[in-house]
Structure 1
Amino acid sequence: MLLFLLLILQTSAAVGQIDPGHCRFPLGMEDGRVKDKDITASSKWYETTGPQFARLNREDGDGAWCPEGQLQHSDTQYLQVDLSVLTFLTLVGTQGRYARGLGKEFARAYRLNYSRDGLTWKAWKNRQGNTVIEGNKNTYAIVYKELHPSIIARYVRLIPVTELSSTVCMRVELYGCPWHDGLISYSAPEGQLMMPPGYPPASLNDSIYDGTHERRPLFGGLGQLTDGVVGMDDFLLTHEKQVWSGYDYLGWRNDSQGTQGHVEMEFVFDRQRNFTSMKVHSNNLFTRGVKIFSSVSCWFKPRLIANWEQEAVTFRTVLDDRNPSARYVTVPLNQRTAKALRCRFYFADVWMMFSEISFQSGENLHPDLKTSTQGIIPTTPLITTAAQPAPSANDPTEETNTPILIGCLVTIILLLVVIIFLILWCQCVCKVLEKAPRRILDEEVTIRLSSCSDTIIMQTPPVPPRTGHAPTACGGGYAEPDVTQCTPHQSFHSNAPHYAETDIIRLQGVTGSNMYAVPALTVDSLTRKDISAAEFPRQQLIFREKLGEGQFGEVHLCEAEGLPEFLGEGSPLPDRDSRPVLVAVKQLRADATLQARNDFLKEIKIMSRLDDPNIIRLLCVCVSSDPLCMVTEYMENGDLNMFLSQREIESTLTHANSIPSVSLCDLLHMAVQISSGMKYLASLNFVHRDLATRNCLVDRRLTIKIADFGMSRNLYSSDYYRIQGRAVLPIRWMAWESILLGKFTTASDVWAFGVTLWEIFTLCKEQPYSLLSDEQVIENTGEFFRNQGRQIFLYSPPLCPPSLFELMMRCWSRNITDRPTFDGIYQTLRRHVRA
């Protein structure tokens, strides 16, 4: 009997507040429940092709809605539908203009914008970040497109997209069901990255959140907590294919910043409601440090402009250390009336994870709203995966079912009382048995990536734009004539996870990148007195160009007046006949965090110790006052990627037409120099972590020097993959163990060198793995891990000798011990130069 009751409870808990698989009812475009006044458009070709004719399977007027004129690629013409109430949308059906055989216009693709209040519009994108939906291929066939993820909206805009100038017409139906929950936004701390030992990393972020991030917290939107997808018992498993581990959950660590002891969330609703309860689907895999919350306190606000009521509703959960299943926890809200709630969930263990949150409120709907809500529910669902039609508002069986429902509720309440009694009794028995010896069976843990769907694939929503600002300077003559100090900027904190090994520290520098990962003992305690580089007068730095911008500062190209004389004998600079010297100036923002300032000073100390002809040199610093600056060498020919991409291989044709060219000997010479510089860094146990042609500078004599500020340049932003607006990773240059395990070593630098060598012999004409998307590159990383022969390698460049391509393949060996050392690479390349 008890087992039967538990099965009943588990079954009810497995169904979310709304089921996207069954929420697929036509919302009234075709049958007229959506009125003409609620269908508008940005323009129309004729009165007979106005928005009111955009109804699926109808041929009123001239058969469809057609925007005015020829649609261009940059146009944003739209058809807007007002659904009258908040609606959970799961499907869109579209047609072209058939017009009884006379039409020939249709939309091959379209985008979807939506709004819950008619003021703030959001762009729909799928789980891979794509915003364009495939449309029709002819004028008559209906094309249904699933919305993964589903959206919650009242207003919907369909925006036809075309590559070429053409006439476009559309007929539309929307599918879903009413959003009775009434929740229009929730705010919470951003989810965090979990690195469980022996398992792949789990990114517990809200990847489909449609609000904004204000210095990390989620604000003003809805996401995975309202998508109807309930997380599994093992949070590393997901319902969706080709997403990363932990995708179905939003999770936080107890001891992280902003979540010490509890997580606070705010919920805003469409109107004032009388709340009965809140249901929170929470993970409870306690064997990995995850439990449901120990207690929760909720405060209420009757109006958005009112203060929070002081009296809170507090609920303490019964923790379960025997059943690791995820479950719904129902929190009674005692019929409190409010338009907004603030709930504070307290940790019971190291991690806390939610996959769904829903609210039940009393039937105190406004009469007009109740009528419109009932009117939108159709009597027949779309015949796809829906099981049975929803009952009509006028269904006579509804009254006869009421006594049965009341009886069922009474029975369930009695069963719950019995179950609670049994649970309390079990707890008493367990306290008696607590002192009994127990045997813990250690389960062997292995990583299993058995199919493509198991591969870790990361996606990201758009990053909030920075506030606009003018170029900054280091003060004095380094800026425009009247500027005497740096303009302060908003500081963007880096939340990138620690990917280096435990005995390695990372320096974020002004670019937010990780130039060198070095042994922690080399930069233990540091003050400005420890800096050996000389202080250079700021007024002798003349601003020429901003090279790039990072999270904590900027990189400028400047002229340094009198720098050779300042450095004196032994200056690494070539003789410039007393002319100003071009230098790169890395500047820290005046309002940077204390951690960023310390990292900047550490980077200066490390840079001052590097002395190799193929490593960029620190020349001097400006640290006597803010903002802090470091001055490094800059090469006349810029970075190697730009240098090679503008050249062709040397031939008779290039000589005859004066085309900029390089020879195979030049390419080999460049490769030797990069390997020499990396050999020097490896000898010091320095790990670069971002080796690529964009981070190699070239002078007029084709001398190569390895630098670090490629990440800060917008020109190369596509080379970096952003994880949820936080870490940016050069995944096309990274070894498999760096992406999957977060392990950066000299061996992972060797992998990146192989990709850099490939870039050199393709003359940087294309990006590595150019035919693969970022997600496919990461999926390919999983194939390297599985090592079943399905991994994709870069092709052999036509200019590359077979022996050098063999060297590249060795750099990309799956096993770290099979990769060559930089000393071995240097010797191999030297032999090719001599040959």
Structure 2
Amino acid sequence: MRDFRFRVEFQAGVVGVSVASLRAEGCKWRCGTDGATLSPAGYEWVGWKNDSRQQQPVEITFEFETVRNFSAVHIYTNNFFTKDTQVFSRARVLFSVGGEHYHAQPPVEFEYVVDRIFETARNVTIRLHGATAKYVKLQLFFALRWILISEVAFDSEPCRCNQTEEAPPVTPTEVVDETAVPVVPAHSTSSDFLVGGLVALGVVFGVVPVTLCVLYYRSRLTRKASKISLSKANGGETKKVSMKMKDLHINMNLSQLSNGYSRAKGNLYGHVSMDEEASAMYQEPYKGPLHNPGYHTLGHTVHPPDVPLKCPLPPDTDDSVDYAVPGMNVTPPPPFSDVYSPPPPVPLTRPPMTKGLALDYPTLPPPTPPIPPPPKQHYFTASQVCQPVSIQGPAGNVAFIVSEASELTQARCVPDIAGKNLRVMETLGEGVFGSIQVCEMRGAPSGEAETVLVKCLNSRVDEAVREEFLQEAQVLSCISDINVAQLVGLTSQEPLCIIHEYLQHGDLHQFLRRHAPENPTSVMQRAAFKDGSECPVLSYGALVYIATQVASGMKHLEKLNIVHRDLAARNCLVGEGLLVKVSDLAMSQNRYHRDYCRVSEDSTLLPVRWMAWESVLQGRFSSKSDVWAFGVTLWEILTLARQQPYAELSDDGVLENVSHCCHGDGAAMMVLPQPPLCPREMYDMMTACWRPGDRQRPPFWEVLMFLQRKNLGYCLDYPE
């Protein structure tokens, strides 16, 4: 489109309008009181091109039915910068009551921080600080070639005040100066006073400078006369000396008396004393004192310093002061190489002692050793400084660890299940020493067949692997919480098996991807879940309810000092009534191989996109590193697992990103963006889980209390 000025008219009570309905200059689109936009279908974006605008902004005028108080405006815009489309660089919002003049109220200026990382569309909010207007003019300035807008929404309320239309702005010729002298008629007597004042100013600015110049000139003459009288008072007339150097004549006035000026070291151009002729002699540069041991004479013949050199002036002059003037017939000094002999070299070490001759040479200090070169600088990538720790168990799943073994005192007895009662239904994955299978277990305590998760250990394994497998079973036997998958039983005969709970809807990641959000309210939310038009829906309360159960299960593990090390949506199970249990089955499944990587050639698989920086780079795992992973899991839940965390970064890029925390520059680390369904306070809690310092992250009991407060009064609304 080439039109840059648009006009939109609002009904009373409407706070939003879709800019997609704007088609040409002067178009007016009305909205009903329910806020629904009555715009033609099929248009999602309106764009403006910055080819011939010469840096002029896009201007949109909004007209409301009544005067309103505006608190904010929300502009949903595109940031597809790789296609020359970017959020506007700055915006200006002007207000008017009459619609003709916009100078009565100060405009609101807004500058947008450039985002060259994420290309997703976003909602830009501009605070209007309660401005009062009926007409709002929005000016958007280009950042790149295109500006694309899909929706503009205002937060406002009717103004209960009396407002009048703005008067036209006063032109410069009509500006009235209250301090100016009033103009009176010509026949008034005030004109005489005006003329008298101008004459007085002319006298002041004309006579005063001339008077100051005359006084300054007289002071200089007086100072010069005082110097001449002082010279005459000291006795005698001044002497005039002529020095002839070929055609050059220099006239100097010298006083017969020294007056002490020759001895004044700080006065360079004072009077020269004539009493000491020797000191006033001119000497050739190569004629210096003979008795100075540090001075080498370059001339063949020199005069003693006490023999004066007579000035070769004509005898008819009345000068009595002799000067040494260089003559043209003086023999030039010999070459430097003829008269100068270099001194003998000083030996660096004591010469060998000869028989009968003892030379006493001074001992020289040993030579200073050279400064060693600085050590070579070695630079490493983030993957080279990692200290990876294996988190995979013998069967391929993640293995829980216990930070304090003394807490494992509540191990419960589990039944021994015969292998013949297990029927394999599906193999989920395989590890180095075993596999994970979904089986049907007959002979359960309930009397009916149950679907369980079985971890099988291969028959021929080392004793150390066998002990590790049994240690995992012992840790699981201590867990007894409704939101953690519990141990159902063991098989004492070969092959050894650990039997877990398994829920009917499978893992949480796949469950979320099969659903869509309930009634997305904005274009941004609808664009994020385009593939969910035919899917069953999950309300926001249901999503928070799921996250609350994950936090409850992790709170139980935190109480037992058990560290999960691979908390993610793929490691949670979903059952009937949105029951969620924390589990550990995803690491061995091929469908999730993109979520794990090897930070070095000899390391095991690690979920670096969910791990805290100290776990990736230093190999330290704790409940606070599980809190970091819970923040990423909460981000997955509120995005319905539609995108992998840090999808725009490679695995090495993720390592480089978290390395900022290791270098003490945690503020430079990029965090996950706010999901479309996530309120601000929920996102603040999410970012608190990603604080660089592990002690600054909230514990799970605090996270659980926060989520429970945010979901008070929720009733299960998920249809089975």
Tell me the TM-score normalized by structure 2. 0.43
**Which has the higher Rg, Structure 1 or Structure 2?**
2
Tell me the TM-score normalized by structure 1. 0.37
